[in-house]
Chain A
Amino acid sequence: MRRPVALLIVLGLAWGVINLDAPQGAPLRATGLALGVALIAAYLAGVLLERLKLPKVTGYLLFGLVCGPYLLNIINRPMARELQVFNGLAVALIAFIAGLEINVAHLRPRLASIAKLGAVTLAVMYVGLFAAFWLAWPWLPIAPDAPPALRAALAFLLTAVVASFSPTVTIAVVAESRSAGIYTETSLAIVILADLMLILMFTVAMEIVRWTGGGSSHQVGLLASASWEIIGSLAFGAMVGALFSMYLRSIGREVTLVLVGVCLLLSIAARALHFEPVLAALAAGLVVENVAPPEGQVLKRAVERGALPVLVIFFVAAGASLQVDALATIGLVALAIAVLRGALAWGGSHMGSRMSGQEAPVSGLLWMSLISQAGVTLGLTLIAAQEFPTWGVPFQTLMVALIAINQLIGPVLLRTALARAGEIGRMDEGAAPQH
């Protein structure tokens, strides 16, 4: 009873403040209010949903969606955009946590089988999706009259983007549910591997589209661009991580402040230099955890404990910016693609598990961690839409609708899989002293 009353007080206060006597320009100062309301109210909504056996993250997402600009408009557009400001920082912190979770020495014996599993799963998804798009092209609302060469190129581009997963959402759900174990590790590794593949495939697909569409090829070589985004991101992140480790070892003061600075550097500076922030932050976390273990362990526990507000804001912002209007216009096609994608993820992961010798829980549940899609996919879609506005805009609308569906379903499935694997809450067991 206490929590609903507190929720009412918080919402009542927000309502009262907005309606009291706000001076001119007040909406420009709404960020703090949006942040406070989102943190407390969304968290309480998450707790409420947990009682209904649904993941808390879905509660945060739904809170953002219901209170967001498309429905109740309590979190209006300026507020939603202000919340997005924190997203870059959130993505960097979430990926940094993932890096801290990956212990290379521990994972090394299983790396080959994980790579095989990932390769087979992705191959099945790529082949299946490409074939489906090629065959169904006249009915897809992108460029139905495209000549065969361009049609093949566009189908490949659509495949690369549709087959992508969201490492951020996966890591966030894992961090929020404090899961650890073989299923968690394998899922994280596959999703991160897929992220590397996505960058490579998207770059190749865009280059082919440029070539077949009669446009001029990008001035920077394909290999150079992809290697900068993948290897460069990892190198940049490793450098930042190593410098941070040295700071921890040599100075060790104001670590919270410096950590915020590191995340800012990883999200903003990385983006400005065309790096992929998720990869860079992941590499930074990996270096801290694997090269300077004692500091890494303490930092990991502290960051994990302090990450909850960041996760809540991340999901509320995602929910508030879900473009549900895209669902209304193109929902059925998007739903069909989502079903096909899910089915291929299921088939691919089962085939991959058999070929790589994976056992339960990985073999039966892996597909459930391959559904979420979010920011990276959206960003790539935007790049395509900006460069090719004629077919890029309907392409973007379709992808936005697909992301909306997968964003709502993905976390629920992943949380369910983590629960079935019995790995929820086991992160805390691992954090206990082991000697």
Chain B
Amino acid sequence: MTREPLRSRELGGADPLDTQLGLPQQTLRQRLHLERFLPLLQRRPALGLRPGISPAIVLVPIGFLLGPQAANVLSIDVLGHLQVGVSIGLALLGIFIGRALAREAGNLRVIAAGNVESAATIVIVALALWFLITQSQVPTGADAVLIALCLAVTAAASSGHTADPRSDPAARLATRVADFDDLLLIAVGAILLVFIRAGYGTVSPALIVAPIGIGLFVALAGLLLFEHSEGESERGLLVLGAVALLGGASAYLMTSSLAAGLVAGVVWTRVPGRADEIVAREAQKLQHPLVALILVTAGAFFVPHAAVLWLLVPYVLFRLVGKIIGAVGAAAVLPGIRPFELAGYLVPPGVIGVGFSLTFMFALPSEAGRIVVSVAAAGTLLSEVLGMFLIPPAPPAEEPAVADAPGATA
């Protein structure tokens, strides 16, 4: 069985439709003779954008410009309706994390390394931000511990597509560590959401296991449906329906879509059959639009609040410290990798942290929610920029995103 590159977890290589269409005979870049400027920006190919910069760097500012603070094209009303897309997008990312986990379940060292690294980041960022909030008395609209924990969870994520697998063995290992550092944050995030809800009144204990229940039920329905579906259209519809159910049911109960998606992803991969393969192929078609939606929505929710300005730089710095200390811990578990090299690869946060901040935003009191999402979105943007300078450039190759796409060789 050929394994697809793990880096497809978050962004999935090229959009399948792009792959089918093939490359334009003469790209705009060639027509405008932009090649000479590309080495300045050609760090990592992602989301098919050229030059290859992280999607967060492009889409978060676009979201801000379209959002209520600027053009107001994405007004508060519209953003409220985009919540459905965000929860579905997070469920989709959860499925990809679950698939990666199920495939690498035997590799306990990598899983442990990823979780040691994210635990260190959560602890360091949470403590630092809690200290800063309580000392400064900066208004945050919710309990300082809660805000600090929410932000720490968003900070713990690292991007699975950071390291180009063609770079070197260290980069490949770092990619896998980054893939598994999301496990802990998904678990902590899911529990945190129950705590947030408990702040508004009593909650049913069943809510703690609700994401697992949702994930199992949808996974079971998927197993019954996917393999016996007829044709690509039908498979696409059923997979989209399953992902929408995962995200929709979680959003309805205000629990974690990522956790529900993760459970379903694990089940589909571990149970024998073709369900995993079908989900991977069909879900990839949804990935880019949903990732773009998450980033644009987060950017649109940004508010230049005093607390955001106060917490932003410490968030980025302590996240970096957390990643370095976490990388030292991870290197102890996983020999053969230099801690600082690993830390560099783990700096770009990707999409999951931002996505989680949106989940928190819809659950927290309004002001606190906007602060969390603003710090996470701006922090992600800054960390991605930081990552551009910390990660060695990918080896030159013509249009690598398309070449690496799983469907490209089909």
State whether these chains interact: yes
9-residue interface stretch from B44-52, B110-118, B180-188, B301-309: B44-52
* Interface hits, B88-102 → A, CB 8 Å: 88
A309 with B225: in contact, given A22-B252, A32-B252 (CB under 8 Å)? no
* Whole-angstrom distance between the Cβ of A38 and the nearest chain B Cβ: 8
* Whole-angstrom distance between the Cβ of B245 and the nearest chain A Cβ: 3
Q: Would B251 and A29 count as touching, CB distance under 8 A?
A: yes
A308 to B285, CA, bound (A): 14
Q: Would B24 and A249 count as touching, CB distance under 8 A?
A: yes
A33 within 8 A of B: yes
Q: Would A17 and B253 count as touching, CB distance under 8 A?
A: yes
A4 to B221, CA, bound (A): 10
Q: How many CB-defined contacts (below 8 Å) exist between A and B? A: 190
* Interface hits, B178-232 → A, CB 8 Å: 197, 200, 203-204, 206-207, 210, 213-214, 217-218, 220-221, 224-225, 228, 232
A5 to B228, CA, bound (A): 13
Q: Would B20 and A302 count as touching, CB distance under 8 A?
A: yes
Chain B residues within 8 Å of chain A by Cβ, number? 65
* Interface hits, B66-92 → A, CB 8 Å: 80-81, 83-84, 87-88
From A17, A252, A306, A309, B252 is in contact (CB under 8 Å) with A17
Q: Would A254 and B48 count as touching, CB distance under 8 A?
A: yes
List of A residues within 8 angstroms of B81 by Cβ: 31, 82, 85
B21 within 8 A of A: yes
Q: Would A31 and B84 count as touching, CB distance under 8 A?
A: yes
Q: Would A9 and B241 count as touching, CB distance under 8 A?
A: no
A36 with B285: in contact, given A252-B21, A254-B49, A305-B232 (CB under 8 Å)? no
9-residue interface stretch from A122-130, A207-215, A255-263: A255-263
A9 — nearest CB in chain B belongs to which residue?
A: B221
B385 within 8 A of A: no
* Whole-angstrom distance between the Cβ of B57 and the nearest chain A Cβ: 15
A336 within 8 A of B: no
A251 within 8 A of B: yes
A299 — nearest CB in chain B belongs to which residue?
A: B21
Q: Would A40 and B248 count as touching, CB distance under 8 A?
A: no
Q: Would A253 and B252 count as touching, CB distance under 8 A?
A: no
A13 within 8 A of B: yes
* Interface hits, A257-272 → B, CB 8 Å: 257, 259-260
Give chain A's interface residues, CB within 8 Å of chain B: 2-3, 5-6, 9-10, 12-14, 16-18, 20-24, 26, 28-37, 39-40, 43, 82, 85, 248-257, 259-260, 295, 298-299, 301-302, 304-309, 312
17 A–B contacts from the bound complex (CB under 8 Å)? A10-B221, A13-B218, A20-B206, A33-B245, A35-B84, A35-B248, A36-B244, A40-B225, A40-B238, A248-B21, A251-B24, A251-B27, A253-B15, A257-B288, A299-B21, A305-B236, A309-B237
